[in-house]
Amino acid sequence: MKIITKIFLLSILMLNQIYAQKDVKEMNIDGVKVIFKQAENDVVAFRMFIKGGTTNLTKENAGIENFALNVATTGGTENYPKEEYNRILEKLGSSISANCANDFSVISIRSIKDNFNKTYELFQDVILNPAFDSSEVELTREQLISSIKTEDTNPDALIRKEMILWFYQDHPYSNRWIGNLDNVNKFTRDELVNYYKNLIVKSRLLFVIVGKLDIKDVENKISNLLSKIPAGSYQEAELPVPARAKTGGYHIVEKPIPTNYIMGQYLLPRMNEKDYYAALLGHSILRDRVFEEVRTKRNLSYAPTAAVVTEKTSTGFIYVSTTDPDSAIKVMLAELDRLKKEPIPGKELNNHKMRFITMDFMRQETNAMQAGALAAAELYTGDWKNAQKLVDYINEVTSAQIQEMANKYIKNLSFVYVGKKKKVTEELFNYK
């Protein structure tokens, strides 16, 4: 136990060094916030976040942002045709990529320090002069259609899709960033180009950089880029509480498959709310308990779990795939009740704090993950400095706070069930 404690204390020390505030600088360049962290290694993680995510979308154009950003970052530019663009990136060992999420999109550079200048030159051309060649539009369309079709053949992907569409039916998250077959099939090249031009405006942008770079050079590069980008008028939208979170219920997708898939979802506090860290630690405990009771003791499932999804509308969920859904659901719901009713023993709580902080330290070993943590704190709390306070926030959580959080939030579960309807007792889905 003494050895474990020493490892834990060492992890805290190293994590504090990773997050050292003196190494992070905040700049305002032409009205855009830039967060820069000096790193000791030669890998550069450069992120340009585009705020809005699904709030930028409607049912009619869901998927267009993901489509446009993928074409822009993979299809070359007006000055660097695709073959030359890819050849240069390959020679440099660099990458420029785009990813979308419910609350934002991001265009990323991964490079080594010595090759950053040339990689950034390509990045700036992607932002300002993407080619949007018709052949690349069609190639990307085929790839997206294939991905969307695959969702319906993979039960894990299908249950996630069905949960989004059902739980968030009155919420912007229902406008899935990946889109749907009808939308992706109909978007024209001109629509993609126009959407992209209107998307890249200063009012939407946040830059986060972790790398061994000269801060003045970074400032000059971003300033030059922003001088060529319109100001825009983006205002962050206040997201509604999903109606389903207030009522719960269930949705069954009949599938003649041997294993049945169950997910139960509920609202949780956002990162800027006081119960958030109790929810994180509580679900770490819940995840272990569910695994022990469902998998280890009863062998009802290979990989039952519980988790927090951190977003502007944060949620928690329980998940299990099983041939005996009634038994698995009963055990998992019993663990929810246990979290609400029984104080967590001190040893169990402390062990989970130690593990949680150590695992977070391990995740922060890469520059990319450090950039992600700084960005998440900025986007979800309005202050990147909260990323540096994780150790304190987790250590302050008490057993009583976890119980209070569980009783306040883990209720009105919304279930999606994929499998044979006759195998499950539907009354079990009535968890209030």
213 and 65 inside one domain: yes
Please state, for a pLDDT cut of 70, what percent of the chain lies above it. Answer: 95
Residue 138 sits in the same domain as residue 191: yes
Encode pLDDT of 302-318 as tens digits.
999 999 999 999 999 99
- Does residue 201 carry a pLDDT above 70? yes
The pLDDT of residue 361 is 84
Both 336 and 192 in a single domain? no
259-292 pLDDT, tens digit per residue, is: 999 999 999 999 999 999 999 999 999 999 999 9
Which of residues 7 and 101 earns the better pLDDT score? 101
C-alpha distance from residue 267 to each of 145, 150, 224, 270, 283 (Å)? 31, 28, 42, 9, 13
Q: What integer pLDDT is reported at residue 22 of this predicted model?
A: 58
pLDDT over 90 percentage in the chain? 92
- Residue whose C-alpha is closest to residue 177's, from 66, 311, 15: 66
User: Could you tell me the pTM of the whole model?
Assistant: 0.93
Q: Is the dihedral of CA 55, 56, 61, 66 positive or negative?
A: negative
Which of residues 226, 257, 286 is at a domain's end? 226
Q: CA dihedral defined by 85, 86, 91, 96, rounded to 10 degrees?
A: 90
- Select from 169, 191, 226 the last residue of a domain: 226
pLDDT of residue 164: 98
Give the containing element (helix H, strand E) for 261: strand 260-267
Query: Residue 362: pLDDT band by 50, 70, 90 thresholds?
Result: confident
Per-residue pLDDT at 225 exceeds 70: yes
| Judgement on whether residues 198 and 249 belong to the same structural domain of the protein | no
Same domain as 415, residue 272: yes
Q: Cα–Cα distance between 36 and 12 in angstroms, integer?
A: 22
* Predicted pLDDT of residue 2: 44
> Per the structure, how many domains does the chain have?
2
- Do 210 and 285 lie in one domain? The reply is no
In this predicted structure, what is the pLDDT of residue 365?
87
Domain that holds residue 67: 22-226
Give yes or no: residues 152 and 247 share one domain: no
Do 47 and 185 fall within a single domain? yes
In a domain, 27, yes or no: yes
Q: Is residue 69 part of a domain?
A: yes
Amino acid, res. 302? Y
The residue from 193, 226, 259 where one domain ends is: 226
Is 405 a domain residue?
yes
CATH no. for residue 360?
3.30.830.10
Given a cut of 90, whether residue 9 has pLDDT beyond it is: no
Residue 10 has pLDDT above 60, yes or no: no
Distance of CA 409 to the CA centre of its chain: 21
The residue assigned the tokens 């519980």 is 306
Which CA distances in Å does 89 have to 119, 120, 207, 310, 416?
7, 11, 21, 33, 43
Q: What would the two tokens of residue 43 be?
A: 């890998």
Once rounded to an integer, what is the mean pLDDT over residues 369-377? 97
Predicted confidence band of residue 6 (pLDDT cuts 50, 70, 90): very low
Instruction: Check whether residue 81 and residue 191 sit in a common domain.
Output: yes
Separation CA 310–CA 169 (nearest Å): 19
Mean pLDDT across 138-152: 98
Q: Are residues 190 and 264 in the same domain?
A: no
Q: What is the pLDDT of residue 11?
A: 46
What is 196-217 written as a DSSP string?
HHHH--GGGEEEEEEES--HHH
Q: Are 92 and 193 part of one and the same domain?
A: yes
**Mean pLDDT computed over every residue of the chain:** 95
